Amino acid sequence: MKENHMMTAEDVAKELGVSKGHAYKLIRELNGELKKAGYLVIAGKVPKAFWETKFYGYNQPNQTA
Protein backbone atom coordinates (compact mmCIF):
# COMPACT_ATOMS: atom_id res chain seq x y z
CA MET A 1 0.00 0.00 0.00
CA LYS A 2 1.27 3.46 -0.91
CA GLU A 3 1.92 5.89 1.95
CA ASN A 4 0.13 9.22 1.60
CA HIS A 5 2.43 12.21 2.12
CA MET A 6 -0.36 14.77 2.13
CA MET A 7 -2.93 15.59 4.82
CA THR A 8 -6.51 16.41 3.89
CA ALA A 9 -8.91 18.63 5.82
CA GLU A 10 -10.43 15.49 7.30
CA ASP A 11 -7.01 14.38 8.58
CA VAL A 12 -6.31 17.84 10.05
CA ALA A 13 -9.75 18.02 11.69
CA LYS A 14 -9.28 14.60 13.25
CA GLU A 15 -5.74 15.38 14.42
CA LEU A 16 -6.70 18.66 16.11
CA GLY A 17 -10.28 17.88 17.10
CA VAL A 18 -11.70 20.81 15.11
CA SER A 19 -14.36 21.18 12.43
CA LYS A 20 -13.57 20.49 8.78
CA GLY A 21 -14.25 24.16 8.02
CA HIS A 22 -11.59 25.24 10.49
CA ALA A 23 -9.23 22.60 9.11
CA TYR A 24 -9.64 24.08 5.61
CA LYS A 25 -8.83 27.53 7.01
CA LEU A 26 -5.62 26.20 8.60
CA ILE A 27 -4.65 24.42 5.37
CA ARG A 28 -5.17 27.64 3.38
CA GLU A 29 -2.91 29.49 5.81
CA LEU A 30 -0.19 26.82 5.67
CA ASN A 31 -0.41 26.63 1.87
CA GLY A 32 -0.08 30.43 1.75
CA GLU A 33 3.22 30.13 3.63
CA LEU A 34 4.42 27.41 1.27
CA LYS A 35 3.41 29.38 -1.81
CA LYS A 36 5.17 32.50 -0.52
CA ALA A 37 8.31 30.39 -0.03
CA GLY A 38 8.12 29.30 -3.68
CA TYR A 39 6.58 25.84 -3.32
CA LEU A 40 3.72 24.46 -5.38
CA VAL A 41 0.61 23.73 -3.35
CA ILE A 42 -2.47 21.56 -3.75
CA ALA A 43 -5.69 23.17 -2.59
CA GLY A 44 -7.25 21.37 0.37
CA LYS A 45 -4.10 19.40 1.20
CA VAL A 46 -0.88 20.11 3.07
CA PRO A 47 2.34 18.04 3.11
CA LYS A 48 2.69 15.93 6.27
CA ALA A 49 6.33 16.98 6.70
CA PHE A 50 5.39 20.68 6.73
CA TRP A 51 2.47 19.97 9.05
CA GLU A 52 4.72 18.17 11.55
CA THR A 53 7.24 21.01 11.45
CA LYS A 54 4.61 23.69 12.07
CA PHE A 55 2.57 21.89 14.74
CA TYR A 56 5.07 19.68 16.51
CA GLY A 57 8.38 21.44 15.88
CA TYR A 58 10.00 18.44 14.19
CA ASN A 59 13.11 19.20 12.14
CA GLN A 60 13.80 22.40 14.06
CA PRO A 61 17.53 23.16 14.40
CA ASN A 62 17.32 24.05 18.12
CA GLN A 63 15.29 20.99 19.07
CA THR A 64 16.79 18.89 21.83
CA ALA A 65 16.07 15.18 22.10
d(CA 51, CA 53): 5
d(CA 59, CA 52): 8
- For the chain, the distance separating the N- and C-terminal CA atoms, rounded to the nearest angstrom, is 31
Give pTM, 2 decimals.
0.80
- Over the stretch 40-54, which tens digit does the pLDDT of each residue have? 999 999 999 999 999
- Over the stretch 12-34, which tens digit does the pLDDT of each residue have? 999 999 999 999 999 999 999 99
